[in-house]
Amino acid sequence: MRCSVCQVPVAEGKSVQQTVDQLHKKLEQLGGVKQGSFFVDCETYHTTGNASGQPSKLLYVMHNSETPLSCLALYEGGPYLTADANFDVLMVKLKSHFQNAKGHKVESRGARYRYCDFLVKLGTVTMSSSARGISVEVEYCACVVPGDCWNLMKEFMQSFLGSNAPEIPSVFTSKPEGLFAPADCMDTMSQYLELFSKVRKQQVLPGSSVR
């Protein structure tokens, strides 16, 4: 799986939902077929009882509807681990060490589209029941090596995102092997984490309540 995750700006004079609807229409005009829905979410925990006086680190626990039986835990600055769905129960039992940062949960929910070998997920990013932005995930299912398919992916993304099509994600260029290392689910989730971190710092968009 080779994925690119990016944030798309809200169209001028439009709401988040109206911009999402425009993207739906563009994909359907291209020939994209809607195939169900998806979600990705992220809970934030901070360490407690730090006796060393060092700043507390953050732990991010993420879920993806594409992998319903597992979750991903990313410790700030590394490392990370993949665990089964019961990891959430474990975090409750570890509350003396990790405190849930209330009000910091971010999630992206929306529709999945299939177009030839591409899988596209258009999501509304929400935090505290307010729409904070739009996420677009594009996966080229026929290839796992970014360097072999990035030009094709970018051309496809430009067909419905125009000038908002992203450059190649830094998660791939920063690898020792460069663009020719096989991609995995961690690459995708780290891109969502980066997007969610930006969203947390944004102001609430006007007319952004989620019904």
Q: What does the pLDDT look like over 151-161, one tens digit per residue?
A: 999 999 999 99
The residue among 100, 123, 150 that closes a domain is 100
Shared-domain flag, residues 95 and 113: no
Shared-domain flag, residues 45 and 75: yes
| 209 vs 25 pLDDT, higher one | 25
Shared-domain flag, residues 114 and 33: yes
Letter string b/e over residues 87-109, b meaning 16 or more CB atoms within 10 A of that residue's CB: beeebeeeeeebbbeeebbbbbb
Shared-domain flag, residues 91 and 121: no
Task: Name the band, by pLDDT with cuts 50, 70 and 90, for residue 63.
Answer: very high
pLDDT digits (tens, 9 = 90+) for 7-19: 999 989 999 999 9
Shared-domain flag, residues 82 and 150: no
pLDDT digits (tens, 9 = 90+) for 99-108: 888 888 999 9
pLDDT of residue 41 exceeding 70, the answer is yes
Q: What is the CATH number of the domain that holds 21?
A: 3.30.310.180
Count of domains forming the chain: 2
Dihedral of alpha carbons 69, 32, 189, 4, sign: positive
pLDDT of residue 30 exceeding 80, the answer is yes
Task: Name the band, by pLDDT with cuts 50, 70 and 90, for residue 51.
Answer: low
Instruction: Say if residues 126 and 148 touch (Cβ distance below 8 Å).
Output: no
Widest Cα–Cα separation across the chain: 58
Note down the domain range covering 75: 40-100
Shared-domain flag, residues 154 and 121: yes
Shared-domain flag, residues 14 and 75: no
Shared-domain flag, residues 140 and 196: yes
Shared-domain flag, residues 15 and 60: no
pLDDT of residue 123 exceeding 90, the answer is yes
| 105 vs 174 pLDDT, higher one | 105
How many angstroms separate the Cα of 195 from the Cα of each of 101, 125, 133, 199?
18, 9, 10, 6
Q: What whole-number percentage of the chain has pLDDT above 70?
A: 88
pLDDT of residue 206 exceeding 60, the answer is no
Shared-domain flag, residues 48 and 116: no
**What was the pLDDT predicted at 183?**
62
Shared-domain flag, residues 118 and 17: yes
Shared-domain flag, residues 27 and 114: yes
The answer to whether residue 210 sits within a structural domain is no
pLDDT of residue 203 exceeding 80, the answer is no
